[in-house]
A and B are shown apart, each in its own frame.
Chain A
Amino acid sequence: MILDTETIKKDFPILDQQINGKTLIYLDNGATTQKPKAVIEAITEYYETTNSNVHRGIHSLSEKATKMYEDSRKAVQKLINAKSDREIIFTKGTTEAINTVAYSWGEANIQEGDEIIVTILEHHSNLVPWQQLCKRKGAKLKTVPLKSDLSLDMEAYKFMLSEKTKLVSFTAISNLTGTILPIKEMTKLAHELGAKVLLDAAQMTGHMPTNVADIDCDFMAFSAHKMLGPTGLGVLYGKEELLEEMSPFQFGGSMVVTVGEQNAVWNDLPWKFEAGTPNIAGVIAFHKALDYLQKIGLDNIREHDKELLAYAKEKFSKYKAVKTYSPENPEIASAALSFTIKGVHPHDIASIFNEENVAIRSGQHCAEPLSKVLGVSATARMSFYLYNDKEDIDRAMEALEKTLEIFKIEN
């Protein structure tokens, strides 16, 4: 393996626990990743030594907290190669970041008869906000389908794009099939027709290098907790000129410079979009997560994901009753392997895996339209991260064998 998982595992206290004499194997990283000690300790340390409100006090604590908070923003800017830290807005997650664009940009720019394009791969968080916006505005929502090899149907996408298209909002990586979309090409095609592009990068930023200058997307949303950081924190990236034009979506303290009885003047970017006291401890701890990722190297994580997926697919392909939902081409497949077993409901698969102390996900993974298209009511999903290794997958295989045995599935 390209990564030294034995050493990495030691940085994650949660992985060091046993149930029924079996070590915990965590394979639900698509839902959320575990946190290294450095991130957990940063939260405690912040509350023990620095806790105060940011951008307010002139006492030392507040100055220190403000500096740490803003340093984290700069680290995010560096991670995704944004032009300025004014383009980095902290939100409570990917969902809030997408909703911010839907309300701030969408309300002002989408009109009756306009079209918004999404793909069939979307997580509900990048689908429902656009459904609602289209309903409010009388706009039309179009969905790019998949091809049978689980890649996106680019011909259909090109066909759907027109002068009516005002926004294309798509996931960089499907949380169910793990399909990696041709994000740069899709962005370029949308821009040629004057449409803006929002990238849902929730499954990408922790798994491969992300460069917004190169992708050229107009907005990008992602979550800290899917990349070693705390929950309740996400990022909205937006091109400065667009963010400047947009009105805030939430109002209150911090996002104003001056307030009269009847009127208020908005603060500068990025604070214009950060109303109220933010998740300061979370933002500061997130910086530690980014340091950790940088130390390991996102290129290396990508290679590690590939290696694990190939190993898991090879193991799973030995079973006739098992069906996997992952693109055949490893270059467009990320760190998730969804599967079904003929005759066993995914919930039951996850329950038996759990008895073996292997944590996997089952259900529709917040992607109900995609499940329907794949013709499954639900799937089980293993999703990997930097601390997983081949032995973890071997343990999943043992759980799979046990499932087949309990349900007496012939193979």
Chain B
Amino acid sequence: MDLYSEIILDHYKNPHNYGKLDNPTISATEDNPLCGDDIQIDLKVENDKVTEVGFSGEGCAISQASTSMLSDKLIGMTLDEIKNFPNEEIYKMLGVQISPGRVKCALLGLVTAKKAAILSQIKK
């Protein structure tokens, strides 16, 4: 199967929720220095629910597209739901076969979002 499907390339070129939030409740960053990927996710949280998401940073098409797709899903989710978000959901959204070498790329956004959710709960 083609790794670079139209939908992945579309999210890569026109990422959803891209940019930093002005007054985020919480921000988290993760990087993959050996690959040269880094991602920041800002969340605005009200009553334990995410109302706004902004992501920034740079990375490959897989990490950027998966984070863009995830960012749409995050809106309306509770922090606990984010913490329990299964990896399989990411693979399903990407809809292509992810080789072992690209797993880190595919999950970078989710790892960052989970970190933000945990930080937000600690902060409370």
Instruction: Give chain A's interface residues, CB within 8 Å of chain B.
Output: 344-348, 351-352, 355, 362-364, 368, 371, 376-378, 406-408
Does A371 lie within 8 Å of B9, measured CB to CB?
A: no
Contact residues in A for B35 (Cβ distance below 8 Å): 347, 362-364, 378
Does A347 lie within 8 Å of B34, measured CB to CB?
A: no
Q: Given the interface contacts A355-B3, A406-B4, does A348 sit within 8 Å of B60 by beta carbon?
A: yes
Does A348 lie within 8 Å of B34, measured CB to CB?
A: no
Does A377 lie within 8 Å of B37, measured CB to CB?
A: yes
5 tightest A-B CB contacts, nearest first: A378-B36, A377-B36, A345-B60, A347-B60, A348-B61
Does A363 lie within 8 Å of B60, measured CB to CB?
A: no
Contact residues in B for A344 (Cβ distance below 8 Å): 61
Q: Other than A348-B60, A364-B34, give 10 A-B pairs with Cβ distance below 8 A.
A: A345-B59, A345-B64, A346-B36, A346-B60, A347-B37, A362-B35, A363-B34, A368-B34, A377-B37, A406-B9
Contact residues in A for B37 (Cβ distance below 8 Å): 345, 347, 377
B56-91: CB near A (< 8 Å → 1, else 0) gives: 001111101000000000000000000000000000
| B100 located at the interface, meaning its Cβ lies under 8 Å from any Cβ of chain A in the complex | no
Does A368 lie within 8 Å of B33, measured CB to CB?
A: yes
Docked pose: A362 CA to B61 CA in angstroms: 14
Docked pose: A345 CA to B61 CA in angstroms: 7
Does A371 lie within 8 Å of B4, measured CB to CB?
A: no
| B105 located at the interface, meaning its Cβ lies under 8 Å from any Cβ of chain A in the complex | yes
Docked pose: A22 CA to B27 CA in angstroms: 46
- Name the one of A351, A368, A408 contacting B102, with C-beta atoms under 8 angstroms: A351
Contact residues in B for A347 (Cβ distance below 8 Å): 35, 37, 59-60, 62, 102, 105
B100-124: CB near A (< 8 Å → 1, else 0) gives: 0010010000000000000000000
Contact residues in B for A346 (Cβ distance below 8 Å): 36, 60
Docked pose: A352 CA to B5 CA in angstroms: 12
Interface size class of B (residues with CB under 8 A): 10 to 19
Contact residues in B for A376 (Cβ distance below 8 Å): 36
Q: Which residue of B lies closest to A347 (CB)?
A: B60
- Name the one of A345, A364, A378, A407 contacting B9, with C-beta atoms under 8 angstroms: A407
Docked pose: A395 CA to B35 CA in angstroms: 24
Q: Given the interface contacts A377-B58, A406-B9, does A348 sit within 8 Å of B36 by beta carbon?
A: no
Docked pose: A362 CA to B34 CA in angstroms: 9
CB distance from B34 to the nearest CB of A (A): 6
Q: Could you list 8 A-B pairs, sorted by A, with CB under 8 Å? A: A348-B4, A348-B61, A351-B3, A355-B2, A364-B35, A371-B36, A378-B35, A406-B9
Docked pose: A377 CA to B58 CA in angstroms: 9
CB distance from A372 to the nearest CB of B (A): 10
Contact residues in B for A378 (Cβ distance below 8 Å): 35-36
- Name the one of B4, B36, B61 contacting A363, with C-beta atoms under 8 angstroms: B36
Contact residues in A for B33 (Cβ distance below 8 Å): 364, 368
Contact residues in B for A348 (Cβ distance below 8 Å): 4, 60-62
CB distance from A358 to the nearest CB of B (A): 15
Docked pose: A164 CA to B34 CA in angstroms: 34
Docked pose: A408 CA to B6 CA in angstroms: 11
- Name the one of A352, A364, A407, A408 contacting B36, with C-beta atoms under 8 angstroms: A364
CB distance from A182 to the nearest CB of B (A): 30
